[in-house]
């Protein structure tokens, strides 16, 4: 059963386990947020300390949830778009098992302090090797599937997915090269090349590729412009990679590297605008569908957050704005807007659409899915807004040259609001886990099949 050759079995296992890791990762994040409100909660127990939980949270949601869900969805999209079976279903299933073990071991290592200490690259070396093997195997599977395809023309989603599976193994290898010892600042430069490109060349490319598939599919309208989507792809391929240094814009690294990072960061507006123009023009005349098409609502909410994040991003990478908001909670707010607000929402929409089609049965409950949407959406808005406000207060404190102890007390209510927003999201995603679990177990659906056509297998109008 584990190494099954059944069609879409790898995709199914990736998605199901990803949803489990999502709730685990969010629980870790929520624990961290609560410890800001009650700092003595972890007294005497190391693994519960905020500073140990944070890397575990980041790695679980980044590699456990987002990467696995992206891979699962890509493993569904690629055979669908190429009209051919996945090249090696067994290998993909094997990678899924390997990856799950890696995440489990990774969380255990990180909370017990076995960390490499570089942001986003904290996982210890053996786990890095496992992840890299998994990535290379998946690249092999996906590239071979595309080579054996029956549809000649490559749809834009395939471009993005192929790009992601080309770049990610390279970026991951560079980011986790512990056998090459670099001096302090060179180490930081390479670290942030990796830290930013894992977002740009992996989460963004896969996420946008998924959205390119989901929006026309869910709205039933053809993509507005294929050439515009190609422009977006090539500009993201060219502009994203050198931007990492904008994370250390105030550190004493070479000026030319900083200038390069700022220029390319601002240039990232181009792919973002082209992608979003394409999305929104595709939706032209069909916005009414948001009222009764929940997966589409998820994807387009993600697209709106994408607009917000990716306009914010280039501007906060400029020196004058970075000067103010650097080092503050504004920045993790921005990171959450990208990974949680945008790509997680894309994945929610995609999972609500894909899972019934893989399992061959209707989603368990539309009500739970709607509750999931509103809890996550409202929770995220509170969460993101509070992050930004905290960031501005901190920035003001640093700019006035005040001691942290003088203004940190002013943040106390905001840490609480942040944990509150996080708790809402956490609750929404527990509902999601229940919903997915019941669907997987084959529980009798609570709603009639035409309640939410996209979430049932019967294609009525979708």
Partner 1 sequence: MNKNYILPGFVILVSFSLIIFTTVLLPHFIFHPEPSEYAVEYTELEAKGRDIYRREGCVYCHSQFVRLQDRGFGPLVQAGDYVYDTPNLLGTIRTGPDLSNEGGKHPDAWHKAHFINPRTITPGSIMPPFVHLKEDDMEALIAYVQSLGKKRLKKYDRIYRPDEYVAKLEKRTVDVNSSAAANAGRGIFQQNCATCHGTHGLGNGPNAIALAKKPANFSRPFYKDYDDVTWFWRVSEGVPGTRMPQWRKKLTDEQMWYLVAFLKTLPRVNEVYPHSYETLEPDKWLEQLKASEAELNSEPKAMLIETKGPPPMAGGGH
CA 304 to chain CA centroid, nearest Å: 15
* Residue with the two structure tokens 């929402």: 345
Neighbours of 83 (CB within 10 A): 9
Rounded Cα gap, residues 158 and 136, in angstroms: 17
**248, 300, 310, 339: which one contacts partner 1 (CB under 8 A)?**
248
Told to check if 327 binds partner 1 by CB under 8 A, we report: yes
Told to check if 329 binds partner 1 by CB under 8 A, we report: yes
Told to check if 250 binds partner 1 by CB under 8 A, we report: yes
The CB-of-36 to partner 1 minimum distance in angstroms stands at: 6
Q: Return left, alpha or beta for 7; rule: phi > 0 is left, psi -120 to 50 is alpha, else beta.
A: beta
Rounded Cα gap, residues 296 and 214, in angstroms: 8
**1, 83, 117, 459: which one contacts partner 1 (CB under 8 A)?**
117
The CB-of-180 to partner 1 minimum distance in angstroms stands at: 9
Told to check if 140 binds partner 1 by CB under 8 A, we report: no
Structure tokens at 408: 């940190």
Question: Among 19-27, 73-81, 181-189, 276-284, which window interacts with partner 1 (CB under 8 A)?
Answer: 181-189
**123, 168, 188, 199: which one contacts partner 1 (CB under 8 A)?**
188
* CB-nearer residue toward partner 1: 80 or 328: 328
Told to check if 190 binds partner 1 by CB under 8 A, we report: yes
**1, 150, 179, 183: which one contacts partner 1 (CB under 8 A)?**
183
The CB-of-142 to partner 1 minimum distance in angstroms stands at: 15
The CB-of-224 to partner 1 minimum distance in angstroms stands at: 22
Contact set for partner 1, span 49-78 (CB under 8 A): 49-52, 54-55
Rounded Cα gap, residues 37 and 175, in angstroms: 33
Question: Among 4-12, 130-138, 278-286, 392-400, which window interacts with partner 1 (CB under 8 A)?
Answer: 392-400
Q: Return left, alpha or beta for 83; rule: phi > 0 is left, psi -120 to 50 is alpha, else beta.
A: left
CB 268 within 8 A of CB 240: yes
Neighbours of 330 (CB within 10 A): 23
Told to check if 326 binds partner 1 by CB under 8 A, we report: yes
Rounded Cα gap, residues 441 and 452, in angstroms: 20
Told to check if 119 binds partner 1 by CB under 8 A, we report: yes
Question: Among 8-16, 89-97, 107-115, 451-459, which window interacts with partner 1 (CB under 8 A)?
Answer: 107-115
Told to check if 460 binds partner 1 by CB under 8 A, we report: no
Told to check if 388 binds partner 1 by CB under 8 A, we report: no
What is the sign of the dihedral through the CA atoms of 394, 397, 399 and 401? negative
> In sequence order, which residues have a C-beta less than 8 Å from that of residue 234 and are 6 or more positions away?
none
Distances (CA, A) of 45 to 52, 53, 106, 111: 11, 12, 19, 11
**70, 115, 176, 388: which one contacts partner 1 (CB under 8 A)?**
115
> In sequence order, which residues have a C-beta less than 8 Å from that of residue 82 and are 6 or more positions away?
145, 146, 148, 149, 150, 151, 158
The CB-of-71 to partner 1 minimum distance in angstroms stands at: 21
**253, 273, 304, 457: which one contacts partner 1 (CB under 8 A)?**
253
Q: What is the DSSP string of 85-117?
A: --TTHHHHHHHHHHHHHHHHHHHHHHHTT----
Rounded Cα gap, residues 161 and 202, in angstroms: 9
The CB-of-147 to partner 1 minimum distance in angstroms stands at: 8
**44, 150, 222, 459: which one contacts partner 1 (CB under 8 A)?**
44
Contact set for partner 1, span 22-41 (CB under 8 A): 35-36, 39-40
Helix (H, G, I), strand (E, B) or coil at 121: coil
**76, 99, 165, 167: which one contacts partner 1 (CB under 8 A)?**
167
Contact set for partner 1, span 264-323 (CB under 8 A): 323
CA 133 to chain CA centroid, nearest Å: 21
The CB-of-228 to partner 1 minimum distance in angstroms stands at: 17
Residues 294, 100, 340, CA angle at the centre, nearest 5°?
35
The CB-of-407 to partner 1 minimum distance in angstroms stands at: 10
Told to check if 332 binds partner 1 by CB under 8 A, we report: yes
Question: Among 5-13, 14-22, 43-51, 367-375, which window interacts with partner 1 (CB under 8 A)?
Answer: 43-51
The CB-of-432 to partner 1 minimum distance in angstroms stands at: 28
Contact set for partner 1, span 403-442 (CB under 8 A): 403-405, 408-409, 412, 415
- Please measure the distance between the N-terminal and C-terminal CA atoms of the chain and give it in whole angstroms: 32
Told to check if 187 binds partner 1 by CB under 8 A, we report: yes
- Residues that bind partner 1 (rule: CB under 8 A) add up to a total of 73
CB 74 within 8 A of CB 206: yes
């Amino acid at each position: 059963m584990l190494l099954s050759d059944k069609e879409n079995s790898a995709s199914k296992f990736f998605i199901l386990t990803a949803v489990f890791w999502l709730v685990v990762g969010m629980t870790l994040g929520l624990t961290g947020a609560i410890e800001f409100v009650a700092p003595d909660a972890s007294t005497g127990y190391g693994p519960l300390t905020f500073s140990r939980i944070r890397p575990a949270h980041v790695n679980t949601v980044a590699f456990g949830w987002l990467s696995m869900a992206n891979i699962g969805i890509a493993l569904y999209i690629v055979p669908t778009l190429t009209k051919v079976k996945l090249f090696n279903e067994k290998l993909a299933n094997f990678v899924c098992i390997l990856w799950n073990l890696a995440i489990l071991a990774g969380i255990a290592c990180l909370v017990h302090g076995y960390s490499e200490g570089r942001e986003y690259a904290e996982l210890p070396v053996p786990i890095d090797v496992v992840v890299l093997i998994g990535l290379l195997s998946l690249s092999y599977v996906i590239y071979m599937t595309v080579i054996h395809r029956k549809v000649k023309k490559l749809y834009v989603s395939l471009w993005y997915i192929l790009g992601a599976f080309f770049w990610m193994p390279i970026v991951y290898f560079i980011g986790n090269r512990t056998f090459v010892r670099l001096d302090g600042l060179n180490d930081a430069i390479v670290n942030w090349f990796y830290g930013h490109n894992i977002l740009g060349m992996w989460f963004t490319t896969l996420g946008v590729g998924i959205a390119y598939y989901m929006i026309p599919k869910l709205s039933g309208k053809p993509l507005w412009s294929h050439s515009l989507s190609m422009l977006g792809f090539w500009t993201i391929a060219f502009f994203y990679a050198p931007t990492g240094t904008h994370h250390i814009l105030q550190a004493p690294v070479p000026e030319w590297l900083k200038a390069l990072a700022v220029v390319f960061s601002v240039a990232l507006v181009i792919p973002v605008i082209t992608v979003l123009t394409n999305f929104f023009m595709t939706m032209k005349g069909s916005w009414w569908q948001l009222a009764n098409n929940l997966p589409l609502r998820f994807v387009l909410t993600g697209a709106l957050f994408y607009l917000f994040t990716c306009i914010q991003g280039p501007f906060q990478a400029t020196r004058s704005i970075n000067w103010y908001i650097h080092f503050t909670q504004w920045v993790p707010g921005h990171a959450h807007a990208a990974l949680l607000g945008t790509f997680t929402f894309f994945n929610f929409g995609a999972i609500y659409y894909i899972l019934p089609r893989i399992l061959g049965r209707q989603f368990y409950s539309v009500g739970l899915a709607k509750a999931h949407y509103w809890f996550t959406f409202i929770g995220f808005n509170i969460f993101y807004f509070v992050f930004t406000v905290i960031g501005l207060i901190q920035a003001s404190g640093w700019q006035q040259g005040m001691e942290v102890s003088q203004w940190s007390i002013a943040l106390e209510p905001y840490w609480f609001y942040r944990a509150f927003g996080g708790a809402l999201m956490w609750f929404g995603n527990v509902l999601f886990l229940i919903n997915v679990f019941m669907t997987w177990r084959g529980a009798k659906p609570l709603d009639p099949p035409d309640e939410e056509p996209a979430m049932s297998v019967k294609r009525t109008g979708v």
